[in-house]
Amino acid sequence: MDATAPELATTRPVASYAPERSLLFACLLSMSGGFLDAFTWLSLGGVFANSQTGNFVFLGMYAASGQWHEAACHIPPIFAFLAGVWVAMKIREPLLCLAGEIILLATVMLLLHRLPGPLAIVGISFGVALQTACFREVERWKYLSVTVTGNMLRAVEQMVSLPDRDAARGARVMLTVCLMFLVGAAAGGFLTMRLGAGSLAAPIGLLISAFWLCCRDRGRRQS
């Protein structure tokens, strides 16, 4: 028993402080998520890239009122998101998926005025799904970087059901992630109205920063 205790003590912190599970990494992804929802809503006809709940709501509302064209606009991102999750689950290479999202966003930024709106939203939603499927833990807690509802629920759950220091930390982490999503959405709205497609450089920069954090950690481990 005594011989194994030091090994457990040294291996657990490595997993806990892996960069892809750090709060900084989660904040970068969440800011990007909020930004992209604001960008697609303003630039691509009131359609969400991340919030498939929102797309389902508008799909149902427009379909119920017989506005079939408007309803159809919300279908491509839903299927693109499902396809992206499926691909990410098959690949099981988080950094490759993150790189894929960066490439897709850069392509949309450069070709937005040449691409049909549905194709642009498909590219963004597919890339967002790659990110969402691969990165779902921050420190010791589950979270989503493309929505706030579940994260808010987890924050309150931590505060109410587990009244201790660890739970307080979990609540702060979840609320911080929610706040970063809000900051990203505000920045997305502000920059999109002024820079148009060029504003996508902001979420691309956030994702590149997240990618760099992981690559730096891998380089340190190998050395």
The whole-angstrom separation of Cα 56 and Cα 87 is: 22
Q: How far is CA 47 from CA 55, 71, 162, in A?
A: 7, 10, 38
pLDDT of residue 113: 84
The whole-angstrom separation of Cα 213 and Cα 21 is: 11
User: What is the span of the domain harbouring residue 168?
Assistant: 21-222
37 in any annotated domain: yes
Which H or E run contains 9?
helix 5-16
6 in any annotated domain: no
2 in any annotated domain: no
pLDDT of residue 74: 94
DSSP state at residue 137: E
pLDDT of residue 115: 81
15 in any annotated domain: no
Domain count for the chain? 1
The three-state secondary structure class of 142 is strand
- The pTM for the full model equals 0.87
The whole-angstrom separation of Cα 61 and Cα 70 is: 10
pLDDT of residue 5: 39
- Tens digits of residue pLDDT in 113-138: 888 878 999 999 999 999 999 999 99
The whole-angstrom separation of Cα 93 and Cα 69 is: 37
Concatenated DSSP letters for 153-191? HHHHHHHHH--SHHHHHHHHHHHHHHHHHHHHHHHHHHH
137 in any annotated domain: yes
Q: Which residues of the chain have pLDDT under 70?
A: 1-17, 162-163, 219-223
13 in any annotated domain: no
Query: Domain containing 218 — which CATH number?
Result: 1.20.1250
pLDDT of residue 6: 36
Which H or E run contains 138?
strand 137-138
